[in-house]
Structure 1
Amino acid sequence: MKLYAAGILAILNAALAVSATTTPAKRATVCNGHAELCERSFGAVTYVGTHDSYAIGAASNLAVNQDQDITTQLNDGVRMLQMQAHNQNNVIRLCHSTCVLLDGGTLETYLTTVKSWLDANPNEVLSLLIVNIDNMPASAYGAVFTKVGLDAVSYAPPSTPLAATAWPTLGAMIDSGKRLVTFLDNQADTAAVPYLLDEFTNVWETQFNVIDVAKFDCSVNRTKGDTGTQMFLVNHFLDKVLLGQPVPFVEQLNVTNAASGAGSLGAHVQTCRDSQGRAPNFLLVDFYEYGAGSVFEVAAGINGVTYAPTTPIATPRSANATSGTGASNTTGGNTTKGGNGAASTFSGNVIGSLVAGIVFACSALVL
């Protein structure tokens, strides 16, 4: 009897062991807001990105490219954050051309905000694009990612570069917990920091600093790889020339960000579809909320999903001093405080615009 009972117990234990090893992994059912995207490769989805996402302030200030804080940008649907990083006394700071012109705070503070948002939104995949102005080593960035805990959620591919078709699905990335993709425009070293990926071997870009809507074409401007297999990014922000330097053409934003019409984001995307035979992966824009969500409508149309936000997105700061998503923005004469906790220092609108124009005229403007 004892032997019989022992045999039964052994069979039960074996069955439990098999059950434990065959329990299916969790499966995300909603990815980046849509169930339809869970089975799509990361490289087969289109994302709205914010150009100089950290350069936050009133649109009347020449040195800024966004007027909503980082958390609001993400809550509203932005899924690529582009930034410009500078070495200031061995601290990585996010500045526009120079930290004298606009200082958006430290990379550490910025990434802490990103980490908090990712923790609060576990079914979202996000991309970062870092313009490494001072050619700092990947290890310098890796140290900051590790300090704030983003290394734990960063995707490191088994090999690089990856063709657009070789990326995992959004669902797989969410299930694995590795749902942050970071591109570095130079000095990437995947042997040292596997999750900081070289941008231009993985992604090609169109022309930037466009001042003529006719230049919103889909010609390859920057790449180090095979454009036929890479993902690609369209720079869709219109500038005007002031004192010899390009600055955001704020007066045209509703047209530039529109879903249709000459010079619109929608028209630019169609140009790419016609010339490249496929849609872009990343749509980089200024002041994303101008157009009342039109940039997200364009991305949703490409992705074959419906754009139907559950809460209104932010309204332009000039029309409403507070964000439509409930995140606060404090605007003063000299600083504007974003949701990343970093003050983007810049002078008041009138004097600041004149100062910015002089600085722009005296220094090369870079993305």
Structure 2
Amino acid sequence: MRATRSALIVTLAASLTATAPATGTAPAQAQTQAQAADGVYYLQSVTTGLNAGVSGTSVLQRRPKGDEDRQQWTLTGRTLREGTQCLGRQADQAVVMACTSPDAQWDVLLDGDRHRLKVPGVDRHLIASGTDQVRIGTGADRWYLTPVSPQRVPVPVEGERRLDQVTFLTTHNAYANGVDGGFAPPFVNLAPNQARGIEQQLRDGVRGFQLDIHQTPDGAILCHNSCTWVSRPVALWVDVQRIVDFLNRNPNEFVTVFLEDYVSAAVLRSELARVNGLANVLFRPDQAGVRTNGWPTLNTVRANNKRLMIFTDHGRSGDSPQRDTFGVMYQSEWTVENYWSMGSGLGASDWSCHSRWATPLNRTEPGFRPLFVMNHFRDVPITGTATTDNGKLADRARRFCEPAARKTPTYLAVDHYHLGNPMAAVQALSGERF
């Protein structure tokens, strides 16, 4: 953390106070003309979710990478400094230059919770044009000035927390555990992602389950890539039944299932129809008015006994029947998710935090905040590496992924959840939110 939290809070409060009307409602134009507060920020494109970062003398769009990749800018008045130089303009290109240059001056204008970086005196702005290079043009792209040292706020008491104010421990490839059954050809079964079965995972506090399903003559089967030659295969309905039975025994718990989904909608519907009691506990955010009213509290879902949410990564386009008609939500409509791999099973890791999908991690809608799925695992689930990585989970969330998404993760997905104490990160992040 570079800037002191107290100083940043004071300057942010001063900026908001300066832009608030004394009485009545200020004209919209006046509300957008306030200068942003001084501080240390990530300059993040609203359109792409990428950060402006320095490479040589150029300013490029870079994957958010905390304090490791020249992406932190110190705003002082009308200049944005990185190192010893400032963000400036050279023709249509964004570059870094001497901070005393007139071309390093900007009107940094507040626009709701976003900003426009305007060239003084002319109708030209800093824009993210869809290329790596940050440019100057006639568009009015919006940017987030995301504090490097953000204000974090305490959450309400447990039952009064909304679902987007809770963090859940989540297991990557939860079915690939070497306990419940086979999940891949025998030689791949030697490298499971988890070491405990689904029922033990539930007892240990896991509340999110990432499952791969493939279509076979037997229905929707849990396996990696292909179910050919899998010994002792497990059907999806079997694990969902385990979860529903757990929820019936534990009326205060909430669970989410994420499907990497390679089956037809008809097969998936038939598979879930085999689960006794599923309809009683299935939570439907589309029917609960989440898009207009926000996510419900834990007390609300408990009172309604709607405590299991199922997502699919399958696309809606051309899907028949539409999966959400039988309660399986299209994940891209309700969550954001970072790219899944931190690198191979050995060696250095890539902790940058960028979207797995086309939509940026910082996506929001009026009145609605998508839940944030934070993936934190490697290509190959080596136990020693997972132990080290899981011990650094909270640090990566706070320094890399929270600023990238502008929200605290709702789901922390890891390999070998029993190693490295990832539950400590869950508890730390549940105590206060970005």
* TM interval, short-chain normalised: 0.5 to 0.7
Distance in 1, matches of 2:349 and 2:375, equals: 13
Distance (whole Å) between structure 2 residues aligned to residue 275 and residue 250 of structure 1: 28
What residue number does 1:155 align with? 283
1:144 and 2:265 matched:
no
- Which position in structure 2 is the counterpart of 1:299? 426
Q: CA RMSD in A?
A: 2.8
SS in 2 for 1:248: coil
Is residue 250 of structure 1 aligned with residue 383 of structure 2? yes
Go from structure 1 to structure 2 and tell me whether the alpha carbon gap of 1:60 and 1:141 turns closer, same or farther (over 3 Å shift): closer
Instruction: Spell out, residue by residue over 1:67-105, the C-alpha distance to the aligned partner (whole angstroms, 9 max, x if none).
Output: 101011011010101100011115111011111364641
Aligned partner of 1:230: which letter? P
Q: Give the counterpart letter for 1:249 in structure 2.
A: I
Q: Displacement, 1:224?
A: 5.0
Change (3 A) 1:256 1:181: same
Q: 1:152 to 1:223 in 2, by over 3 A?
A: farther
Query: As a proportion of its length, which structure holds more helix?
Result: 1
- 2:336 corresponds in structure 1 to 204
Shift of 1:63: 4.2
TM-score between both structures, scaled by the size of structure 2: 0.54
Aligned match for 1:236, one of 376, 385, 389: 376
Counterpart of 1:276? 405
Cα separation, 1, equivalents of 2:189 and 2:215: 24
Matched, 1:75 2:203: yes
Contact 1:164–1:230 (CA under 8 A) maintained in structure 2: no
* SS of structure 2 residue aligned to 1:64: coil
Contact 2:191 2:382 in 1 (8 A): no
Match of 1:18 in 2: none
8 Å Cα contact 1:65/1:248 also seen in 2: yes
Amino acid of the residue matched to residue 198 of structure 1?
Y
- Amino-acid identity (%): 26
The one-letter amino acid of 1:254's match is T
Counterpart for residue 289 of structure 1: 418
Q: Quote the residue 2:260 is aligned against.
A: 131
**Contact in 1 for aligned 2:324/2:330 (Cα 8 Å):** no
- CA gap of 1:106–1:278, structure 2 versus 1, over 3 A, is same
The gaps in structure 2 that reach 5 residues or longer are 1-154, 180-186, 317-321
Structure 2 CA distance for partners of 1:219 and 1:288, relative to 1, 3 Å: same
Deviation at 1:187, TM superposition (A): 4.7
Deviation string for 1:315-352 (max 9, x for gaps)? Answer: xxxxxxxxxxxxxxxxxxxxxxxxxxxxxxxxxxxxxx
Aligned partner of 1:181 in structure 2 is: 309
Determine helix, strand or coil for the equivalent of 2:223. Answer: strand
Tell me which structure has the larger Cα radius of gyration.
2
Mapping for residues 38-49 of structure 1, pairs under 5 Å:
38-49=159-170
Decide whether aligned partners of structure 1 residues 191 and 77 sit closer, same or farther in structure 2, where only a CA change above 3 A counts.
closer
CA distance in structure 2 between the aligned counterparts of 1:248 and 1:89, rounded to whole angstroms: 30
Maintained 8 Å contact 2:219/2:271: no
CA contact 2:372–2:407 (8 Å) conserved in 1: no
User: Are 1:80 and 1:128, in contact at CA under 8 Å, matched by a contact in 2?
Assistant: yes
Shift in Å at residue 278 of structure 1?
Answer: 2.2
Q: Which letter does structure 2 place at the counterpart of 1:85?
A: I
- Counterpart CA distance in 1 for 2:304 and 2:349 is 43
Paired amino acid for 1:179: R
Structure 1: gaps (5+ residues): 1-33, 240-246, 259-263, 306-367
1:168 is the counterpart of 2:296: yes
Q: Secondary structure at the match of 1:284?
A: strand
Partner of 1:36: 157
User: 4+ runs of 1 displaced by more than 6 Å?
Assistant: none
Structure 1 position 64, deviation (Å): 1.6
Report the AA paired with residue 126 of structure 1: V
String of CA shifts for 1:173-223, please: whole Å, max 9, x gaps.
011011101101115525621x21101111121112321654222211215
Query: Higher relative contact order at CA 8 Å, sep ≥6: structure 1 or structure 2?
Result: 1
CA–CA separation in structure 1 for the residues paired with 2:188 and 2:261 = 27
Report SS of the residue matched to 1:155: coil
SS at match of 1:257: helix
Q: Does residue 343 of structure 2 align to residue 192 of structure 1?
A: no
Contact 2:290 2:296 in 1 (8 A): no
Report the counterpart of residue 227 of structure 1 in structure 2: 363
Deviation at 1:132, TM superposition (A): 0.5
| Deviation for aligned residue 1:250 | 2.3
Q: Secondary structure at the match of 1:99?
A: coil
TM-score, with structure 1 as normaliser: 0.63
Answer 1 or 2: which has greater strand percent. 2
Per the alignment, in what secondary structure is the counterpart of residue 167 of structure 1? coil
- C-alpha spacing 1:160/1:145, structure 2 compared with 1 (3 Å): same
Equivalent AA in structure 2 for residue 57 of structure 1: G
* Counterpart amino acid of residue 298 in structure 1: A
